[in-house]
A and B are shown apart, each in its own frame.
Chain A
């Protein structure tokens, strides 16, 4: 590790020097002038630089690749049509490694050495919470595209006023609150969980319990089994659940760990005994494709975006373009990464400036169209409000994997926590 640190420092010096030379070149060699409509906007100088970090190593590296696909698509599309406010978009992607201190190192590199105008990405809640306190010093707009903890927007943006942070992906409200709205209609009264043993798992389960208890007094929560990050063997966790004999199982396991869990639970006969299963991130493409035909039917799944919703021209055309370019269905992080660049485009063009203060003002309350549907960045907490579907896994001959059937779409407004985020009337159900 020591060695790596030295290399990085040397690397920083090199790239820092490099960008100085590049800047000198631009000044000396004549500016690339903005064209068309934006020719008269002198406020924006130089390219729009986005520093994006996501996980590119380890077991979750697949997520990073899917981020990149969406990101590059947006950048290429925008640059082909004249850029943002007539300025070229440049991105650099760095490996976030999922470690909190690396999230900070990357952000510092982007801002201090590379000269980023905007920051994007961040997969883990722990990383988001580590980076959040620094954002007012770094003073760049950060659009979080994957980390879901509600504490990021409730505590840091709303309570502490770190206005540089925005989030365009679904927060835990969908995993916790919306799941409870779906689960209240089941005859199940005894619930148990196998979930990740870190912030994301804890906060979702707490939200699910609290909301479900309000919606359906009399439900009980009989067992919880927490799987540490990197768990590949879920047999003991499955035993805990089978011993508790619940009617319903709720699990925020995700990615490869969810695949292992589902396969092992299926072998142990868990789905024969427990009929109501809620997987708030089960509709992720890596899970659907990874499970293939092995995915049990009638599990309730959702995600931050699901490629078959909304069934409209914008989304369907985007999915087709995405498949044509990358040979994959878009993962939810592909959509959020793609929409992140477009959010920056809309905000900069609305503000007529790339200065952080002006962009923040433009983004607060801003609405935009995106493949996932209409998004609005809520003014108070900078959380994007948009709808995602829940549904039951079912086979479809058109796909080599199970898809979402019986889709239910709850309006996000009905189940997102509301400012001021404490006291009565801030958590669902709302009157």
Chain B
């Protein structure tokens, strides 16, 4: 029983960390730019495809792939923000959703044209390969690594936003655009930078998912973006702290649901979301607007 519970928690934590990596970029972009970016799941997918491509054609070094892949997706993020999204900031939310949703379809089809419609599988990796025995059952080393990466990203983000000059500027611009602009902050450039950084987080999640999931497919971003949205809503839209906690809760809850209450595992997520929204409509750490 003990073994089973511990392994369920571990499985939940590693699943939750992926949701967090995607939700963090989504939340950051919403918090600062005020845009709900549907295409964020596509950045996750593209990160995975680029990672696969580097592994396949440059060499099976996972760290190199993890460095190059998310950065290459950042170029795409830059183009999306600079030449498209920037022109709809002043429009109503539905226009922004429509535009970012269009990008989901475009990227899915582009991926299909470039990498083919089927799934692609990465070459075998020696990085972090192998398992450790925890209470007599094997647990992949890679998953432990993922469980470590999540909090690292969270701590890094927090330090950056709370303790650096750039972080202060970002917070200033997100709470009052006009005021920030009037004291000399170049808000458009700042928005581009934040969007590109959010893109990087999503693509990093995709890259990390390659050895974890074991294959890359078009449409792989769609499942995770829904979970990331749920987490963002539970945590309070725009709140990184909320997204982190929400991702952990969702990951572990889903794992327990699958293991111990299989009849309800698909509902648990939505029951959680409905419950949180009933008690706190603004989410766990959201501010009422």
- A55, closest chain B residue (CB): B117
Of the residues B7, B116, B124, B131, contact of A62 by C-beta under 8 Å? B116
Instruction: Determine if B138 and A260 form an interchain contact, defined as CB atoms under 8 angstroms apart.
Output: no
Instruction: Determine if B116 and A256 form an interchain contact, defined as CB atoms under 8 angstroms apart.
Output: no
Given known A-B contacts A57-B108, A236-B11, A268-B138, A256 and B215 have beta carbons under 8 A apart? yes
Give residues 238-289 of B contacting A (CB, 8 Å). 254-256, 258-259, 262, 265-266
Q: Is the interface of A mostly helix, strand, loop or mixed?
A: helix
Of A3, A267, A269, most buried by chain B (CB within 10 Å of CB) is A267
Q: In the assembled complex, which residues on chain A have CB atoms less than 8 Å from the CB atom of B266?
A: 197, 228
Q: In the assembled complex, which residues on chain B have CB atoms less than 8 Å from the CB atom of A263?
A: 214-215
- Would you give the 0/1 interface string for A195-225, flagging 1 where the beta carbon is closer than 8 Å to chain B? 0010000000000000000000000000011
Instruction: Determine if B255 and A58 form an interchain contact, defined as CB atoms under 8 angstroms apart.
Output: no
**How near does chain B come to A210, taking the closest CB pair, in angstroms?**
21
Count contacts between A and B, CB distance < 8 Å: 112
Is B164 engaged at the interface, CB distance under 8 Å to the other chain?
A: no
Instruction: Determine if B15 and A233 form an interchain contact, defined as CB atoms under 8 angstroms apart.
Output: yes
Interface size on A, residues (CB 8 A): 41
Give residues 91-113 of B contacting A (CB, 8 Å). 98, 108, 112
Is B56 engaged at the interface, CB distance under 8 Å to the other chain?
A: no
Q: In the assembled complex, which residues on chain B have CB atoms less than 8 Å from the CB atom of A293?
A: 124
Instruction: Determine if B4 and A56 form an interchain contact, defined as CB atoms under 8 angstroms apart.
Output: no
**How near does chain B come to A57, taking the closest CB pair, in angstroms?**
7
Of A59, A236, A240, A264, most buried by chain B (CB within 10 Å of CB) is A236
Instruction: Determine if B131 and A268 form an interchain contact, defined as CB atoms under 8 angstroms apart.
Output: yes
Q: Is the interface of B mostly helix, strand, loop or mixed?
A: helix
Instruction: Determine if A292 and B4 form an interchain contact, defined as CB atoms under 8 angstroms apart.
Output: no
Instruction: Determine if A58 and B218 form an interchain contact, defined as CB atoms under 8 angstroms apart.
Output: yes
Is B121 engaged at the interface, CB distance under 8 Å to the other chain?
A: yes
**How near does chain A come to B191, taking the closest CB pair, in angstroms?**
27
Of A66, A232, A291, most buried by chain B (CB within 10 Å of CB) is A232
Instruction: Determine if B140 and A267 form an interchain contact, defined as CB atoms under 8 angstroms apart.
Output: yes
Of the residues A57, A59, A259, contact of B121 by C-beta under 8 Å? A259
Give residues 34-93 of A contacting B (CB, 8 Å). 56-59, 61-66
Of the residues B3, B117, B258, contact of A64 by C-beta under 8 Å? B117
Instruction: Determine if A268 and B140 form an interchain contact, defined as CB atoms under 8 angstroms apart.
Output: yes
Bound Cα distance A230, B219 (Å): 10
Is B114 engaged at the interface, CB distance under 8 Å to the other chain?
A: no
Of the residues A3, A225, A243, contact of B262 by C-beta under 8 Å? A225
Residues of B at the A interface (CB closer than 8 Å) are: 3-4, 7-8, 10-12, 14-15, 18, 98, 108, 112, 116-119, 121, 124, 131, 137-140, 143, 209, 212-215, 217-220, 222-223, 254-256, 258-259, 262, 265-266
Residues of A at the B interface (CB closer than 8 Å) are: 3, 56-59, 61-66, 197, 224-226, 228, 230, 232-233, 235-237, 239-240, 242-243, 255-256, 259-260, 263-264, 267-269, 286, 290-294
